[in-house]
Amino acid sequence: EADIYQTPRYLVIGTGKKITLECSQTMGHDKMYWYQQDPGMELHLIHYSYGVNSTEKGDLSSESTVSRIRTEHFPLTLESARPSHTSQYLCASSEGGGRTYEQYFGPGTRLTVT
Amino acid sequence: GDSVTQMEGPVTLSEEAFLTINCTYTATGYPSLFWYVQYPGEGLQLLLKATKADDKGSNKGFEATYRKETTSFHLEKGSVQVSDSAVYFCALNSGTYKYIFGTGTRLKVLA
C-alpha cells in the first residue's frame, strides 16, 4: 500500500489568505509531483521535484510555489488564494531511475476559495 | 511530443457486462504504459502496467496488452461490478520525469 499523505483533505478559505497544502511520503522516493485536477477530471502537472533542493515548474502555469527541503516532504503554498485556485490538488511520488516505475498518489486536497 | 488518447465517457454498463476502454498513444522510444483508477473522493491508484511490447498487465480481473503495432493499451474486464464504478486513466512514461495521462474515462455500473 502506498504511503503518501496529504493534509488537509478539504479546505474552504477566503480570498487573499495564504495557504499551504502538505504532502509527505514515507517510501524514500526521490521524485515528487503536484497535479491540479479540473472538474473534467484532466490532470495538469504544476510542479515537480527530482530530489532535495530541486524543484521545477510543470506544464500548467500556477501561482503556487513549492519547496523540497526534506526527501519526504513537498509542500505547496499559495501566497494569496483566489477563487480561480478552487480545484482538487493531487500529490504523487515515484522512485527515480526510469520509465518502468509507477507513480503513487495521495488522496488529494479539495480546495475551495470563496 | 508524447500523448495519450482515451475514449470519451461516460461509459454506462449493467453489472456483469463486458468492459473495454480504449487507449492509444504516441511516443518516441519505448514507453511503459499504465492504467490508473480513481474512486470518488480519492487519489489515483495504479491498476496495472506493462513495460514492453506484448506484455499483458492484469489485476483484479482487469487486463490490458501493450500492442506496439497498433500503439494501443485497451483496458478490458469480463464482468464488471457496481464497485468498479470509477474514473480510469491511461498513462505512459518514456523515461523522463514526466508521466503523460489521458483525459480519463468515467465508468458507471448499474445493478
Q: Is the CB of B34 less than 8 angstroms away from the CB of A104? A: no
Identity of residue A36: Q
**Are A95 and A101 a contacting pair, CB within 8 Å?**
yes
Strand B75-77 relative to strand B62-65, pairing: antiparallel
Q: In the predicted model, is pLDDT for residue A1 greater than 90?
A: no
Q: Report yes or no: B94 at the A interface, CB cutoff 8 Å.
A: yes
* Residue A67 grid coordinates: 519547496
Q: Give the residue on A whose Cα is nearest the Cα of B8.
A: A40
Residue of chain B whose Cα is closest to the Cα of A108: B43
State residue A37's pLDDT score.
Answer: 95
Distances B81 to B34, B53, B77, B109 between C-alpha atoms, Å: 21, 29, 10, 6
What mean pLDDT comes out for the span A23-51? Answer: 93
Residues B36, B59: contact at Cβ < 8 Å? no
pLDDT digit string, tens, across residues B54-102 = 999 999 999 999 999 999 999 999 999 999 999 999 999 988 888 999 9
Q: Do B103 and A42 touch (CB under 8 A)?
A: yes
Report the candidate in B68, B38, B44 with the shortest Cα–Cα distance to residue B55.
B68
pLDDT score, position B28: 84
Distance CA A34, CA A32 (A): 7
pLDDT above 70 for A97: no
pLDDT (tens digit, 9 = 90+) per residue, B13-53?
A: 999 999 999 999 999 888 999 999 999 989 999 999 999 99
Residues of A in contact with B34 (CB under 8 A): 102
